[in-house]
Structure 1
Amino acid sequence: MLSLNNLRIICTSHGLRHSNRLLMNKACLSKVSSYVTLNNCITLNSNKGTKQRNSLRLLKERELKYTTIVSSQKLFCTTHVKQNCWNCSQPIEETPAFFCLSCNVLQPPDESASFFQIMDCDQTFAISTEKLQKRYLHLQRSLHPDNFSQKKEKEQEFSEHQSALVNKAYRTLLKPLSRGLYMLELQSMHLEEGTDPGADPQLLLELMEMNEALQEARSPEDVHPIGQSTKERLKELTEQIDASMRKGELQTAKELLSQMKYFANIEDKVKEKLSELM
């Protein structure tokens, strides 16, 4: 359980440097942010005894609602509260739950569930895309809005939201780049937009040469070697990122994902160029 002292540590520069390791997701960050704001209020009103006592009491009441579970790499914030079925009021035990086991009525999306939980995948970089696709097809057959056209308006609305969420989860986890970026996001880590100022100059030169070769290509035979080289680099990066993720070396994984972003862009340009030349 988060204590007042721990929250003060998070507010310090030392705490900020390690906040990515302490906070798993945006939900945790939002809760801690509210605590930090409250703690600042307590400090500013330290000379006002009544307000301070009220604020401390409120803080302790909120702390009772949240717990942290330590994993091998990070702290998870468990803010999930057991829900009851909106139709029959029976408890919903599964997370995420798509249907009530008692009345078989469709439930609203579980906002606390990760894409890995929705797609029933282990939270690892190397996942089975075959299993992912099977799960996707199964969920879409069950949740598609066409299946609920004769159901209650509430179920129709939930089916649209659930189906859209499954689509987003599937697209995100399907490709290595978007999957890796999502895993970083779960750790409150993000890649900067644009060119990385710390990128290897040799890498940037290689990318520039590949872009120039694509622009000058006049036939599919000119493009294929670039496409093959790009695929090989992406395969190497995928293996390196997987190894880094398994070891918990998130900063290394972030740097490798930055490189993967460049080569994924080249891969898209190769496809566009081949389409133009066909």
Structure 2
Amino acid sequence: MSSPDFSQNYFQLFELPVQFAIDTQLLGNRYRQLQRELHPDRYASAAEHEKRVAVQYSAFVNEAYSALRSPLKRALYLLELKGMSQQEISGQQVDGGFLIEQMELREKLESMHDLVDPDTVLDHLVAEISSDIKIHQAEFEAAYNQSDLTAAASACVKMQYLEKILQEAEQIESELMDS
């Protein structure tokens, strides 16, 4: 293994352009290649220091892969690379209309267990939320590409809200399957 470079950003590590739209197949291939290079068996006879560096680098690779694989984490990371802190991002204002929609979605989720046919309604809801997430991903990408970091951060906040609701919907879905 060549000497690990912890100063690389995640995109450099995976030899990808620093942008929102990435080739996920290339990401996966490069990840597997790095994991092979870092496999513990390759360091069985190495000095303790080399083993430690390999373990640290493997953790770095896993963290980078996790960040780039998720559109939301990738968007947040891109803003971080532009110098925005997590506090600045989460402090972005989102319009009242969006917040009302979130409250309505949450109310629909809360009433799921009372419905006669919750599965169909839940499927529609999950599809609606997923579609909204894609809209805000496109919104993020457009704003980021135009260097409008405020609008990009606002789109990120919306994606965070929707991802959280999507997780809740998936949780309800699995509860309904179990009952």
Same fold (TM over 0.5): yes
Corresponding residue of 2:54: 159
What amino acid sits opposite 1:230 in the alignment?
Answer: I
Q: 1:206 to 1:185 in 2, by over 3 A?
A: same
Q: 1:274 to 1:193 in 2, by over 3 A?
A: farther
Equivalent pair of 1:191/1:254 in contact (CA under 8 Å): no
Backbone CA RMSD of aligned residues = 1.9
Corresponding residue of 1:140: 35
Corresponding residue of 1:232: 131
Q: Percent identity?
A: 32
Corresponding residue of 1:117: 12
Q: CA deviation at 1:224?
A: 0.9
Q: 1:195 to 1:241 in 2, by over 3 A?
A: closer
Q: How does 1:8-47 map to 2 (within 5 A)?
A: none
Q: CA deviation at 1:221?
A: 2.0
For residues 61-108 of structure 1, what are the alpha-carbon distances to aligned partners after superposition, in whole Å with 9 as ceiling and x for unaligned?
xxxxxxxxxxxxxxxxxxxxxxxxxxxxxxxxxxxxx51xxxxxxx2x
- Point out the structure with the larger strand share: 1
Equivalent pair of 2:139/2:155 in contact (CA under 8 Å): yes
Which protein has greater RCO, CA pairs closer than 8 Å, 6+ apart? 2
How far, CA to CA, are the matches of 2:49 and 2:90 in structure 1?
A: 45
For residues 214-249 of structure 1, what are the alpha-carbon distances to aligned partners after superposition, in whole Å with 9 as ceiling and x for unaligned?
121133223111100011111111112111222222
TM-score, length-normalised on structure 2? 0.89
Q: CA deviation at 1:124?
A: 0.4
Equivalent pair of 1:191/1:258 in contact (CA under 8 Å): no
Q: 1:254 to 1:141 in 2, by over 3 A?
A: same
Q: CA deviation at 1:198?
A: 2.7
What amino acid sits opposite 1:114 in the alignment?
Answer: N
Q: CA deviation at 1:192?
A: 3.3
Q: Where do 5+ consecutive residues of structure 2 fail to align?
A: none
Corresponding residue of 1:13: none
Pick aligned residue for 1:187 from 82, 87, 91: 82
Q: CA deviation at 1:156?
A: 1.0
Equivalent pair of 2:122/2:169 in contact (CA under 8 Å): yes
Corresponding residue of 1:249: 148
SS in 2 for 1:161: helix
How far, CA to CA, are the matches of 2:89 and 2:108 in structure 1?
A: 22
What amino acid sits opposite 2:50 in the alignment?
Answer: E
Q: 1:263 to 1:193 in 2, by over 3 A?
A: farther
